[in-house]
A and B are shown apart, each in its own frame.
Chain A
Amino acid sequence: MNNLVVLPLLIPMLGGLITAIFRKNIIFRRLLSLLAIVLTGAASLLLAAQASRDGVQLLEMGGWPAPFGIVFVADMFSALLLVTSSLVAMACLLFAFRSIGEHRERFYFYPLFLFLIAGVNGAFLTGDLFNLFVCFEVILLASYVLLSLGGTKIQLRETIKYVVFNAVSSMLFLVAVAYLYAVFGTLNMAHLAQLVAEAGQSGFISVIAVLLLIVFSLKSALFLFFWLPGAYGAPPVAVAALFAALLTKVGVYAILRTFTLIFYHQPGLTHDLMAVLAALTMLLAGLGAVSGKDIRSILSYNVIIGVGFIIAGLAVFTLDSVIGSIYYLMHDMLMKALLFLLGGVIIIIVGHGRLQEISGLIRNHPLTGWLFFITALALTGLPPWSGFPGKVLIIRQALAGGAEHGGYFWLAGIALLSSLMVLYSLLRIFINGFWGETVLPRAMEKGSAKGLLYPCLILTLAGALLGIGAELFYPYIALAGNGLMNPDIYLQAVLGEVI
């Protein structure tokens, strides 16, 4: 029993409720939101320290033991994601202070922001499949309102599509959960894992696994990403950055968790399917990114490429490739937030996102330009930035370790090709937007970038630390990967007394 496990969910939730009650004073709401995020980050760090020192941390809600009650489980993997998401949330919140506008601030922006964080943290922590569904719904409800808040035409149009599509995918999720409950009579993830391991992953269970994979693919934009570029292009910058960094990654987390803990017995079916999906995702999204003419759409397609890359690591399914996936997942959360924030700075300065009409920003905004350049290099995976360790681990394993599955050379090739596409698409923004003649004098700028670069600097520093200090973080990430590849550790922690 460790009550610390629930705090990353509780603190943002309390903060959200209090900011919802006291709506008058904007400064108070800002300070309280920031305090809530900082405290969440502190609790997550403490949790990570405990998980690395004492192993998996467990909280049985209301004292009900594992298969009967809801459990919250913080292993190293969850704790690392919690820390990363708190950092991203802090940067987006600081960016929102300056850019979101008073209308939205008065209209429940901060409560919704905090509820979204609470849902994300809950999804990372919960040890129960139905509870995971509930956390997804919490995230989605907050995201519906954040997406439509402001009521501009494009926002409302995209929100309708987003809501309809998510209602359908949530229904599929519920159907998959119901199938699992009908077969096993339990939804506790550890208990499910134990029962699947005992009964063997027969054809019927594999069908449920694939259904879950489809659901999580819809949520995380793995292959089924048709909804993403529109939806992520509509909301204000701070919200889009938060979505890009966290929303799809919760789906990725769910795939990583369920397909290493529960459905890992038939990798020939599920994990090979993931390899194909990941390859197609990287290729198609790469084409989208390369052919984009608008900053927002190029950045959105880059989010999808990242998802494909992380799942490629899981598909190869060796210890090192999964470690690479976790590494890349953390890097991707930080860098996608940074990329969206920097792209947003450009859009705020120029007033639109049409690449053809932007030129020569570097004269007046050198720091933005160089930060963008660094981010492009990091996302491509050039050393010493944070994308490198993850990419090197995944691609080396795909080339070497995949031999028993008939080789993953093609996957490694496509992954490398997609990296080139990322580099090309981002450098196109850099060259088009920052090089050339300065057509936009300072006085003509649509918005001010004042104060918007501090959160970007925070994320850049965090990313640089993750890349340059790769050796420093490796033991913790290896611990997380080890926990994923040895489900018995998780089972022992959750069901310890029962087995």
Chain B
Amino acid sequence: MKGKDVILQTVTKMAAYIILAFSVYLLAGGHHNPGGGFVGGLMVAAAVSLLLLAYDIRIVRTGFPFDFKTLAAVGVLIAVMTGMGSLIFGEPFLSQNIFHLHIPVFGHIELATSLLFDIGVALAVFGTAMSIIYMISEDTCAWKR
């Protein structure tokens, strides 16, 4: 049954890009506007779930050939490490810093170290959501093996 629905697959091919682009927008804009790492990560997971629905798990596996549980742990590690950066500079844990940059096309942009934290959160949420989806879809018990 999977891999037959041409309409769904064609729409997914375009929609996935839009969803992924929107997730990056949400992630980057989260510092001042609604958004942030959590919802950004969920959005990526939504895009991948759509791919899972339209194609099948093997094709998605070849596109994302890594262990999502490890990805989640790496994400949390990044987030914690960003918080720990302030320990080196003798600031309170989780302090953040803001840099102002002028880049030709984009103009004035503001870079906060909390964006790194958000990226970590996004990876953690993406990894967790995907490992839950995989675990339900596979329906096998890894324990006995």
Which chain A residues have a beta carbon within 8 Å of chain B's beta carbons?
A: 1, 3, 6, 10, 13-14, 17-18, 20-21, 23, 59-63, 103, 107, 111, 151
Contact = CB atoms under 8 A, between A and B. Distances in A.
Interface in B71-109: 73-74, 76-77, 80, 84, 86-87, 90-96
B69 interface: yes
A58 B88 CA distance: 18
B89 to A, nearest CB: 10
Given A14-B80, A107-B143, A21 B70 contact: yes
Contacts of B70: 20-21, 23
B143 A151 contact: yes
B93 A21 contact: no
Interface of B: 69-70, 73-74, 76-77, 80, 84, 86-87, 90-96, 141-143
Given A62-B94, A63-B91, A17 B80 contact: yes
Contacts of A107: 142-143
Given A10-B84, A103-B143, A107-B143, A18 B96 contact: no
B95 to A, nearest CB: 5
A1 B94 CA distance: 12
A17 B92 contact: no
Contacts of B93: 3, 6, 10, 59, 61-62
Contacts of B87: 3
B73 A63 contact: no
Contacts, number: 46
Contact of B80 (A1, A13, A21, A63): A13
Contacts of A6: 93
Contacts of A1: 92
Nearest to A149: B143
B95 A17 contact: no
Given A3-B92, A61-B92, A21 B143 contact: no
B57 to A, nearest CB: 22
B84 to A, nearest CB: 7
Nearest to B81: A14
B94 A61 contact: yes
A59 B143 contact: no
A10 B92 contact: no
B92 A59 contact: yes
Contacts of A23: 70
A21 B92 contact: no
B74 A62 contact: no
Contact of A18 (B77, B84, B86, B90): B77
A51 to B, nearest CB: 18
Contacts of B77: 14, 17-18, 21
B145 to A, nearest CB: 10
A107 B92 CA distance: 35
Nearest to A2: B92
A60 B86 CA distance: 12
B37 to A, nearest CB: 16
Contacts of A59: 92-93
A23 B141 CA distance: 18
Contacts of A21: 70, 73-74, 77
Nearest to B70: A21
A62 B95 contact: yes
Contacts of B69: 20
